[in-house]
Amino acid sequence: MNTEKLVSEIKRKQSFLCIGLDVDLSKIPAHLLELSSPIFEFNKAIIDATHHLCVAYKPNIAFYEAYGLEGWKALKLTIDYLNTNYPEIFTIADAKRGDIGNTSSMYAIAFFEDLGFDSITTAPYMGKDSIEPFLAFEDKHTILLALTSNPGAFDFQTLESNSKPFYQSVLETSKTWNNSKNLMYVVGATKAEFFKSIREIIPDHFLLVPGIGAQGGSLEDVCKYGLNSNIGLLINSSRAIIYASKTKDFAAHAAQKAKDLQQQMKAILVKNKT
């Protein structure tokens, strides 16, 4: 999916919500555990109940790999279900991959071609030749870690180098890579005070923003400095939505939580005349 289509879906739905599908079998309703693929059935119910309130879904691949072959099957069923039934949805493989060039090419094949995701998250540590193989795919996006939402972000990402924090070097250098128009960036909602300087370096790129809700980030603060003329934000919420309830009507509870966020987003878009 290209950026124009994503922006038009955000405007149509008045939502820039991404829902994280991080399925932990110990947290889903018990009645699903009797089905042949509980993970997929959970995702399917969440997707059917929330697809009109969000523009993106983001399975975190760790939660599927932890269940081995069954997990990988559930991931495949989930992305196939999304691509078949909701092709207007932007899909994100939250995988945080990155390796030497020929190996990154194999990951790109895995997630863009074999599974058919629209985008993948990647880690910058190994530099240009570890990311360009992902960027080579047309109408696919590569979402590079910049400033993450976890406490460990302050271990290395904010170290000063050449009088600026390291994550700013990641932003500036990555802009020079081939097909950098296909880049988006991960910036944590818990770092709202950093959005202004980030937008000075990358005014046009989309930011994928985790950390609203369970991790304590504020939607208002993120939008104040993060929105651009193309909206330019995907706000992710995972646990607060998908685990809203463990009852049989869990999907309706999830939809209510998603709607609360969508309504807040709509108000922000109206206020900003977007």
259 carries an active-site annotation: no
Q: How far is the CB of 159 from a copy of itself (least distance, A)?
A: 5
Q: Which of 84, 155, 193, 271 binds a copy of itself (CB under 8 A)?
A: 155
Q: Are 262 and 54 in contact (CB under 8 A)?
A: yes
**Residues 122-151: x where in contact with a copy of itself by CB under 8 A, - otherwise, as a string:** -xxxxxxxxx-------------x--xxxx
Does position 175 bind a copy of itself by CB under 8 A?
no
**Residues 54-93: x where in contact with a copy of itself by CB under 8 A, - otherwise, as a string:** ------x-xx-xxxxx-xxx--x-----------------
Does position 106 bind a copy of itself by CB under 8 A?
yes
Q: Are 117 and 142 in contact (CB under 8 A)?
A: no
Q: Are 191 and 149 in contact (CB under 8 A)?
A: yes
Q: How far is the CB of 267 from a copy of itself (least distance, A)?
A: 29
Beta bridge partners of 209: 235
Does position 103 bind a copy of itself by CB under 8 A?
yes
CA–CA separation, 176 and 47 (whole Å): 37
Q: Are 241 and 247 in contact (CB under 8 A)?
A: no
Scanning 11-19, 42-50, 168-176, 219-227 for contacts with a copy of itself by CB under 8 A, the matching segment is 168-176
Strands (E), 75-122: 90-97, 119-122
Question: How many chain residues bind a copy of itself (CB under 8 A)?
Answer: 58
Give the other-Cβ count within 10 Å of 70's Cβ: 15
Does position 216 bind a copy of itself by CB under 8 A?
no
Give the other-Cβ count within 10 Å of 71's Cβ: 19
The residue annotated as part of the active site, out of 76, 96, 128, 224, is: 96
Does position 159 bind a copy of itself by CB under 8 A?
yes
CA–CA separation, 196 and 180 (whole Å): 21
Q: Are 225 and 203 in contact (CB under 8 A)?
A: no
- Nearer to a copy of itself (CB atom), residue 68 or residue 193: 68
- Nearer to a copy of itself (CB atom), residue 103 or residue 264: 103
Length of the chain: 274
Q: Are 80 and 44 in contact (CB under 8 A)?
A: no
**Would you please indicate which residues are annotated as catalytic (active-site) residues?**
96
Rule CB under 8 A: which residues touch a copy of itself?
Answer: 22, 24, 60, 62-63, 65-69, 71-73, 76, 94, 96-101, 103-104, 106-107, 109-111, 114-115, 123-131, 145, 148-157, 159-162, 166, 169-170, 173
